[in-house]
Amino acid sequence: MPPKRIEKKLAKLTREFFAHHPDVRLIAVTGSAGKASTKTAIATVLAKQYTVQLRNEEPLTKSDVFLQIMGVKVPEKGLFKWRKVIKAVKKRVNVEQPEVQVIVQEFNPKELGYNNWFRQYIIPDITVVTSVTNGRMQVDYPVEQVAEEMIALANYSRLAIINRDDVEGRFAGFLTNPNITTYGTTLVAEYYFDQHDFSLADGYQGNIMSPENIDGVEATIHLLGEHNMRPAIAAAAVGYKLGVTEHNIVAGVASLHSLPGRMNVLEGADKTWLIDDSYSSTPATALSALQTLYSLNVPQRIAVFGNMNGLKGVFEEAHRELGSHCTVDMLDWVVTVGEKANTYLAPAARQKGCQVKECIDAIEAGAFVREKLTEDGVALFKGSSGGVWLEEAVKINLLSAQDELQLVRQEPKWLERKQAFFTENRTRMIQ
């Protein structure tokens, strides 16, 4: 983490950049969940017409936000690294013609007051609020305070675009910005998707509906699940607001694909299908993934659930609640991985009549699914990272080893960490 004086210097230089280059648009993305998918979708659509800057990494500090906006990376080491960073930022500030026309930036609050702190330095042209859900902040703060934190950034933006489905209407009282619009997958939003058809292979076909075109424009979205369609609609809304042609909006939306580990549809062995949602898990996203699985017209459904980490005092209730949504008429098997899932989710699913298999780790779960999943069947893999690693269960069931490149946490450092965990965990179980 850089010193406070460096943070303040970066903040002032970023303010200077936008003062010198008022034509550069700043699109801010904030919310409890869905930020990564939404910022990627927005950047993809806008890139059809503009030069766009997007950093995929999650900003961990306020300085990270300024550095990502300015397009400058910090050297890993070096005695004068911050001096070099400031020099590089100043160069961007003073350039006659910036390399980018639009900057898409994630704002990732972890404490109250975070989003409002930036008010003195930057004014986003558009802020997209993706959700107010039981993500990391709600573990420490009431949901009303989380909502106020997320909406704070929208209030000092030139335009606010709010997810109508994942931000409850009761939080509208926190909005003071009169220039707002909404997006979602339901008719109550100004921007929404009117679905006509769907298949696992081809995605959703339908119309993007908007105030700019009340008849809608035909589009294809190659994503799975309503919560994954919403980033595409957010991207279309931002595109309309920035004057992107409808042709480019449709082309941009059609080119969207799920990020690794986020409801990514993969071909499984023996003509099966896998839904890889192994990146992370919260009660809201797990339930949404399960409902998506239920919506599929397929001969067999298996749900693999790992621990939902980071819930602190509410983990027992959250896992039981998810288990209570597992129903015998919709699921052939419920597979659980991890102590919390095995202890609380599994019994709740059994109580609903489901066949349940409790596994000691993702490797056992993957082998079990490989044995049970039959032709045209679908297996959903939903879990957190630490101590779960369901991407390794997905790996066992892939049709092609090439698709391992689409899995999360496959870098050498992650593979070593996971191997050490599996070895230690199995040794402990044997003892």
Give the pLDDT confidence score for residue 285 in this predicted structure.
87
Q: Measure Cα distances from 118 to 152, 156, 313 in Å.
A: 10, 10, 31
Q: Is residue 351 part of a domain?
A: yes
Residues 344 and 407 in one domain: yes
Does 48 score more than 90 pLDDT? yes
AA letter at 54: L
Domain-terminating residue out of 226, 254, 282: 254
Residue 181 parent element (H or E): strand 180-183
H helical segments located in 296-411: 315-324, 339-340, 346-351, 362-372, 391-397
Domain that holds residue 9: 4-254
Q: Exposure string (b/e) for 367-393, b if CB count within 10 Å is 16 or more? A: ebbbebbeeebbbbbbbbbebbbbbbb
Residues 20, 22, 23, 24: is their CA dihedral positive or negative?
A: positive
Residues 170 and 195 in one domain: yes
Give the pLDDT confidence score for residue 220 in this predicted structure.
96
CA atoms of 183 and 41, how far apart (whole Å): 14
Contact, 359 vs 337, CB < 8 A? Answer: yes
Assigned token pair, 324: 């209570």
Tokens 């294809």 appear where?
220
Residues 244 and 306 in one domain: no
Give the pLDDT confidence score for residue 52 in this predicted structure.
98
User: Residues 176-213: pLDDT tens digits?
Assistant: 999 999 999 989 999 999 999 998 888 899 999 999 99
Give the pLDDT confidence score for residue 40 in this predicted structure.
96
Give the pLDDT confidence score for residue 134 in this predicted structure.
62
Q: Is residue 346 part of a domain?
A: yes
Residues 360 and 341 in one domain: yes
Residues 57 and 193 in one domain: yes
Which letter does DSSP use for residue 233 in this model? H
- Pairing between β-strand 378-382 and β-strand 356-359 as defined by DSSP bridges: unpaired
Residues 314 and 220 in one domain: no
What is the share, in percent, of the chain residues with pLDDT greater than 70?
A: 97
pLDDT band at 98 (very low <50, low <70, confident <90, very high): very high
Contacts of 290 (CB under 8 A, 6+ apart): 303, 322, 325, 326, 380, 382
Average confidence (pLDDT) over 236-265: 96
Assigned token pair, 174: 């926190």
User: What is the 3-state secondary structure of 275-312?
Assistant: EEECCCCCHHHHHHHHHHHHHCCCCCEEEEEECCCCCH
Q: Other C-beta atoms within 10 Å of 48: how many?
A: 18
Q: Other C-beta atoms within 10 Å of 411: how many?
A: 9
CA atoms of 191 and 210, how far apart (whole Å): 5
Domain-terminating residue out of 188, 222, 254: 254
Contact, 202 vs 6, CB < 8 A? Answer: no
Average confidence (pLDDT) over 302-323: 91
User: Residues 65-88: pLDDT tens digits?
Assistant: 999 999 999 877 766 788 999 999
Number of domains in the chain: 2
127 closest CA partner among 98, 104, 147, 101: 104
Half-sphere exposure of 223 toward its Cβ, with a 13 Å CA cutoff?
Answer: 30
Give the pLDDT confidence score for residue 311 in this predicted structure.
82
55 closest CA partner among 23, 31, 29: 29
Give the pLDDT confidence score for residue 287 in this predicted structure.
94
Residues 291 and 425 in one domain: yes
User: Residues 369-398: pLDDT tens digits?
Assistant: 999 999 999 999 999 888 899 999 999 999
CA atoms of 286 and 83, how far apart (whole Å): 45
User: Residues 142-172: pLDDT tens digits?
Assistant: 889 999 999 999 999 999 999 999 999 999 9
User: Residues 106-140: pLDDT tens digits?
Assistant: 999 989 999 999 999 999 999 999 999 766 665 67
Assigned token pair, 11: 């903040």
Length of the chain: 431
Residues 191 and 322 in one domain: no
Residues 231 and 281 in one domain: no
Residues 286 and 202 in one domain: no
Q: Pick the residue with more confidence: 4 or 290?
A: 290
Question: For position 55, which CATH number holds?
Answer: 3.40.1190.10
AA letter at 164: R
Q: SS3 helix, strand, coil % of the chain, rounded to 5?
A: 45, 20, 35
Domain-terminating residue out of 254, 289, 311: 254
Which letter does DSSP use for residue 343 in this model? I
Residues 202 and 286 in one domain: no
User: Residues 253-296: pLDDT tens digits?
Assistant: 999 998 899 999 999 999 999 999 999 998 888 999 999 999 99
Q: Is residue 16 part of a domain?
A: yes
Mean pLDDT (the chain, rounded):
94
Q: Measure Cα distances from 190 to 184, 355, 425 in Å.
A: 8, 42, 50
Q: Is residue 259 part of a domain?
A: no
Question: For position 300, which CATH number holds?
Answer: 3.90.190.20
Contacts of 236 (CB under 8 A, 6+ apart): 45, 183, 191, 208, 210, 219, 249, 253
For residue 2, give the 3-state DSSP assignment: coil
Contact, 229 vs 185, CB < 8 A? Answer: yes
Residues 250 and 309 in one domain: no
Give the pLDDT confidence score for residue 104 in this predicted structure.
98
Q: Is residue 415 part of a domain?
A: yes
